[in-house]
Amino acid sequence: MFQLIPINIWMATRSLARNRLRTFLTMLGIIIGVSAVLTMVALGTGARGSVEGDVRSAGTNLVYVRAGNYTRGGASVGVASGLGAATTLTDADARAIADEIDGITAVSPGLSMRTTVTSGASRSFAQVQGVGPDFADANMWDIDPGRMLADAGNEAVIGRALADDLFGKGFDPTGKNVRVRDADYTIVGVTDDGTEDHDEKLFVPWRAMQSSQNIRHLDFIVIAAEEAGQASRISDEVKALLRQRHGIGAASSSQGYLGAQGSGAGGVDDFTVETQAAKALTKGLYTPAAAFALANLPKLDEVTTAEMADTLDRASDTMTILLASIAGVSLIVGGIGIMNIMLVSVTERTREIGLRVATGARSADIALQFLIESVTLSLVGGLIGLVLGLVTSRIIGWSLEWPVSVPIPAMALALGIAALVGLIFGIYPARRASLLDPIDALRSE
């Protein structure tokens, strides 16, 4: 019987090709089911990967202090204290944090600007950050080739992508000079850290940046907590310390962005403290409105990355169940469509069945023929759905700048399930066909 499978596949394709429109309409259920599920899996997996990447990235449990404050709708906010505009955050603050707060492994002052980086004839518009040597430890950088820059001097560490852009792909730029706003830096190392966008940046010593720009303040301070779960305590202590140092009254209400600062009697904070967990959640994946809502959840800054990963796992479990239900429903509907059309086909082709039986087909041959036809129908539908799903998810991913990825097992599973649907819903029509009495079948008009 199995020797007849290739012949039957050929016969099935012939017979399905004879009724193209009907075949296509029958497949539509499976096509839509498979492609919808695949698109959602692609977007879901991609988004999950991106968020997890952020949450689990090297240097978890970071606390960021940024100069300025961003208060949505706060009446008392002065323009000068807008995020990044304040000039009150200083190196002394960074040192005080390192000295007075326990459980900190690394503190790096930071400055940031967007400008043109040139090397010889090639130039690139990039973000240049002034950082301290601790910045590498805080982010768990793996510098290869080269080493981390020193506290001062004219050394620079370059992101891999920026190095590729300036010097050509894969080129080892250590020892080369780059020029940033009339200051020359010698590259001492390359960092390849895709998760934190460090890839496209140039890092120079913060002191060098301060002096080249003739400024005395910092844009941010990065603090690395010693262990998971310490980030929220540290951020609280940092807030208290900075308020004290900047002469700001005790926090009385929390009206601010990212739930990390309050406005006191002496005015609003001129800094923003945010934990990495909050930063990861508010980045990219969600709309600004959702980000705002999420970031303002009370106690978000107390969430550890471990808890965050847990929550994500649970969320993606929920998503998986949701996807599976949608897939299940659409495939059942598709399967019923296939069964329906196969039953119609059996009735229409009664004479053909009679003829085949008269010329020597056994009832198993007839059953096999119709079974293979329904499996072919669903499998081809599954394949079309697969391609459509991949294309759709690419288009959505591209237009929304959303990371997309489809695991190979998911594709195989989609096809396997499509074939299974054809098999299950094909059994009854195939059995009907094989049980037809050839005498009645030959007589039918």
Partner 1 sequence: MPVISLKDIKKIYTLGDNEVHALRGISLDIEAGEFVSIVGPSGSGKSTMMHILGCLDRPTSGQYCLDDKDVSSLSGDELADIRNKRIGFVFQGFNLLPRTTAAENVEIPLLYSRPVMGATERHERAMKALEVVGLGDRAEHGSNQLSGGQQQRVAIARALVNTPSLILADEPTGNLDTKTSIDVMHVLQDLRERLGITIVLITHEPEIAAYGTRIITVRDGAILSDEANVPHEGLAEPVAAQMLG
Q: Which residues sit at the interface with partner 1, rule CB under 8 A?
A: 3-4, 7, 11, 14, 18, 351-352, 354-365, 438-439, 442
Nearer to partner 1, 22 or 351 (CB): 351
Q: What are the tokens at 292?
A: 């705002």
Concatenating the DSSP letter of every residue in 23-88 gives HHHHHHHHHHHHHHHHHHHHHHHHHHHHHHHHHHSSS-SEEEEEESB--TT-TT--GGGBTTT---
Q: Which of 122, 91, 116, 39 is nearest to 220 (CA)?
A: 91
Nearer to partner 1, 52 or 365 (CB): 365
Query: What are the backbone angles phi and psi of residue 273, rounded to the nearest 5°?
Result: -110, 130
Q: Which of 154, 150, 120 is nearest to 135 (CA)?
A: 150
Output the smallest distance, CB 17 to partner 1, in A. 9
Nearer to partner 1, 149 or 353 (CB): 353
| Residues 406 and 385: beta-carbon distance below 8 Å | no
Nearer to partner 1, 6 or 145 (CB): 6
Output the smallest distance, CB 445 to partner 1, in A. 8
Output the smallest distance, CB 373 to partner 1, in A. 14
Output the smallest distance, CB 337 to partner 1, in A. 23
Output the smallest distance, CB 368 to partner 1, in A. 11
Nearer to partner 1, 267 or 438 (CB): 438
| Residues 202 and 156: beta-carbon distance below 8 Å | yes
Nearer to partner 1, 412 or 435 (CB): 435
Report the relative pairing of strands 220-225 and 143-146 from DSSP bridges. Answer: unpaired
Nearer to partner 1, 321 or 358 (CB): 358
Nearer to partner 1, 160 or 356 (CB): 356
Length of the chain: 445
Residue type, 388: L
Nearer to partner 1, 244 or 444 (CB): 444
| Residues 184 and 124: beta-carbon distance below 8 Å | no
Output the smallest distance, CB 11 to partner 1, in A. 8
Output the smallest distance, CB 6 to partner 1, in A. 9
Q: Which of 260, 223, 266, 261 is nearest to 246 (CA)?
A: 266
Output the smallest distance, CB 362 to partner 1, in A. 4
How far is it, in rounded angstroms, from Cα 254 to Cα 259? 7
Q: What are the tokens at 45?
A: 């997996």
Query: What are the backbone angles phi and psi of residue 130, rounded to the nearest 5°?
Result: -95, 125
Q: Give the full edge-to-edge strand order of the sheet including 267-268.
A: 251-253, 263-264, 267-268
The number of CA neighbours under 13 Å toward the Cβ of 169 is 0
Nearer to partner 1, 276 or 369 (CB): 369
Output the smallest distance, CB 372 to partner 1, in A. 13
Q: Which of 246, 253, 119 is nearest to 173 (CA)?
A: 119
Q: What is the CA radius of gyration of the chain?
A: 32
How far is it, in rounded angstroms, from Cα 39 to Cα 132? 43
Output the smallest distance, CB 4 to partner 1, in A. 7
